[in-house]
Amino acid sequence: MAMMQPQIILLRDGTDTSQGKPQLISNINACMAVVDTIRTTLGPRGMDKLIHTNRGVTISNDGATIMKLLEIVHPAAKTLADISLSQDAEVGDGTTTVVILAGEFLKECKAFVEEGVHPQVIIRAFRQAGQLAVARVKALAVSIDGKDEEETKQLLKKCASTAMNSKLISGEKEFFADMVVEAVSKLDRDTLNLKMIGTKKVQGGGLRDSFLVDGVAFKKTFSYAGFEMQPKSYQDPRILLLNIELELKAEKENAEIRLEDPAQYQSIVDAEWNIIYQKLDQCAASGAKIVLSRLAIGDLGTQYFADRDIFCAGRVTEEDLGRVAAATGAQVQTTVNNLNPKVLGTCARFEEQQVGAERYNLFKGCPRARTATMVLRGGSEQFIDEAERSLHDAIMIVRRAMKNASVVPGGGAIDMQLSRYLRDHARTIAGKSQLFINAFAKALEVIPRQLCDNAGLDATDILNRLRQQHASKDPQAHNFGVDVNSGGVQDTFAAFVWEPTVVKINAITAATEAACLVLSVDETVRNPASEQPDGQDAAAAMAGRGGRGRGMRGRGMRGRGMRR
């Protein structure tokens, strides 16, 4: 009689495992569900999503914002959220495009997986197709470098306008394109640091009431004694930036002073007053007409400066203080002793201005204008927030176009050209790879198709016309894309619907890598203990899988108490 083999237990009780083809199909379906959520936001006629969370209501059609707020928990679908955020961080635009492309790549290869094709064969073909597509994009790119300054600005405005085509502020894209290009032009050309562009949001007014400050603007920080007596406008003022407190501080709770004579107490009080007055005297003696500090300036300091026709503001945020330093040439001081005139900054004009219900301090005509501030106006908080997100995309696009001065036609034109190119290439190779590269090529057509669907156009008819156009011998055939305004096709390059080359390259690369990553996963292991905070025991983990246990786990108090 044969001995029974002992059962080998590798994973702890309660571990959930799933593997093989069903697991891969499940992951692909999860990714496609995410794509279906945001596919309607693509393009000039894309719809917005209203997302309600504990932090409030957000209305947006920005892919990265939506993916962030959805809080996706499926481990495979999280990959799409990650590539969307990476696209936003790297180039700023194309966040919806990259998710839709990745989802379409997976959708096209789903049938092959179901038929038993090994995922690694598909991955190899997809990577090859991705490299060919990127090389073709680089070959089709048109450089906008080497132009004179005015012509370059016009070209950058076209790029900014294209980025805002699909946004809530598309109706005023010309107005904001000018503002964005002006703002980015103020930055240091070597670094193009985005932190040097400030955005302030003020409710009220219309979009066209928004304006750009050639320097820094921030909201009035406080209203202490004497504040209204201070001058609110200067020509060519000297500016002093501090990182110290200018106020009388109360003694600590455990402070102890032993006196032999009560008269000595007055000398201690006088010493405190002398210290603060000495600091204020040194600030005034420096010749500065504007004193800003990251820390508090109290009633005494405010009144002292008001009596001497000096404007002051305390508790200025570190970001705003840094931008004032960059714009005016001032250097932040941590002491007021031996103030050198070289550490003071200057600007052409300073004024306090009423903007809506708020008052703003504006520093204009800064000599080292390496910074700019956009003051956005609008009717509702959600509307202004979405306008800010839209401008962020446009700013990133202009910044990228300045660094990598080449563009490709938008409106789905480059996608259709890549699709045709890869189909032609697939016919030249033998074996299974031909099918997979063909599938990759077909997936690229999702961008123009979705643009048509979102605009309410006949996608089949327009795609057929685009295929016909791209297959023709016309030297400009590769520039034809979807015209959502007339419901036909057009030369999008001639219509100035442009995308920076780096946006399309990054989108194709990231989407291909994400699709290959999902295809390479054939097993998911969920360890129940990993769901518990602070490593609670397996019994609590098992209880946590039910509704009652989940509530206990959320509080997490009982487990910690028992552990002590």
Say what the pLDDT of residue 268 is.
Answer: 77
Say what the pLDDT of residue 239 is.
Answer: 92
The model's confidence at residue 48, banded by pLDDT at 50, 70 and 90, is confident
Say what the pLDDT of residue 254 is.
Answer: 60
The model's confidence at residue 511, banded by pLDDT at 50, 70 and 90, is very high
- Quote the percentage of the chain above a pLDDT of 70: 88
- What are the residue ranges of helices labelled H in 286-380? 299-307, 318-328
- Cβ atoms of 163 and 93 within 8 Å: the answer is yes
Q: How far is 328 from 324, CA to CA, in rounded Å?
A: 6
Q: How far is 488 from 167, CA to CA, in rounded Å?
A: 21
Asked if residue 562 has pLDDT above 50, the reply is no
The pair phi, psi for residue 212, each rounded to 5°, is -110, 130
- Pairing mode, if any, of strands 238-242 and 345-346? antiparallel
Q: How far is 458 from 22, CA to CA, in rounded Å?
A: 35
Q: Is the dihedral of CA 490, 491, 494, 497 positive or negative?
A: positive
Cβ neighbours of residue 473 closer than 8 Å, sequence gap 6 or more = none
Nearest one of 410, 493, 370, 380 to 164, comparing CA atoms: 410
Say what the pLDDT of residue 547 is.
Answer: 39
Q: What is the CA radius of gyration of the chain?
A: 31
Say what the pLDDT of residue 130 is.
Answer: 94
Asked if residue 546 has pLDDT above 90, the reply is no
| Residue with the larger pLDDT of the pair 544 and 219 | 219
Q: Is the dihedral of CA 492, 496, 497, 498 positive or negative?
A: positive
Beta-bridge mates of residue 427: none
For residue 122, give the amino acid letter. Answer: I
Burial (CB count <10 Å: 0-12, 13-18, 19+), residue 6: exposed
Asked if residue 506 has pLDDT above 70, the reply is yes
The model's confidence at residue 543, banded by pLDDT at 50, 70 and 90, is very low
Say what the pLDDT of residue 442 is.
Answer: 94
Asked if residue 551 has pLDDT above 70, the reply is no
- Cβ atoms of 302 and 322 within 8 Å: the answer is no
Asked if residue 557 has pLDDT above 70, the reply is no
Beta-bridge mates of residue 14: none
| Mean pLDDT score across all residues of the chain | 82
Asked if residue 214 has pLDDT above 70, the reply is yes
The pair phi, psi for residue 57, each rounded to 5°, is -105, 135
Q: How far is 265 from 262, CA to CA, in rounded Å?
A: 6
Say what the pLDDT of residue 541 is.
Answer: 39
Q: How far is 293 from 505, CA to CA, in rounded Å?
A: 45
Cβ atoms within 10 Å of 361's Cβ, excluding its own: 22
Give SS3 for 246. strand
Strand blocks (E) in 294-388 = 311-313, 345-346, 349-355, 358-364, 372-378
Asked if residue 464 has pLDDT above 90, the reply is yes
Nearest one of 214, 198, 184, 137 to 402, comparing CA atoms: 184
Give SS3 for 51. strand
- Cβ atoms of 499 and 396 within 8 Å: the answer is no
Say what the pLDDT of residue 553 is.
Answer: 37
* Minimum mean pLDDT range among 51-65, 268-282, 446-460, 547-561: 547-561
Say what the pLDDT of residue 558 is.
Answer: 38
- Helix orientation angle between 119-140 and 413-426, rounded to the nearest 10 degrees: 120
- Quote the percentage of the chain above a pLDDT of 90: 23
Say what the pLDDT of residue 386 is.
Answer: 85
Say what the pLDDT of residue 88 is.
Answer: 85
* Minimum mean pLDDT range among 2-16, 462-476, 482-496, 519-533: 2-16
Q: Which residues of 9-27 are buried (b: 16+ CB within 10 A; e: fewer)?
A: eeeeeebeeeeeeebbeeb
Asked if residue 539 has pLDDT above 90, the reply is no
Q: What is the pLDDT of residues 222-261, one digit of tens each?
A: 777 777 888 888 899 999 999 988 887 655 556 677 777 7
For the chain, the residue count is 564
The pair phi, psi for residue 380, each rounded to 5°, is -125, 160
DSSP state of 13: T
CA 470 to chain centre: 34
Say what the pLDDT of residue 19 is.
Answer: 67
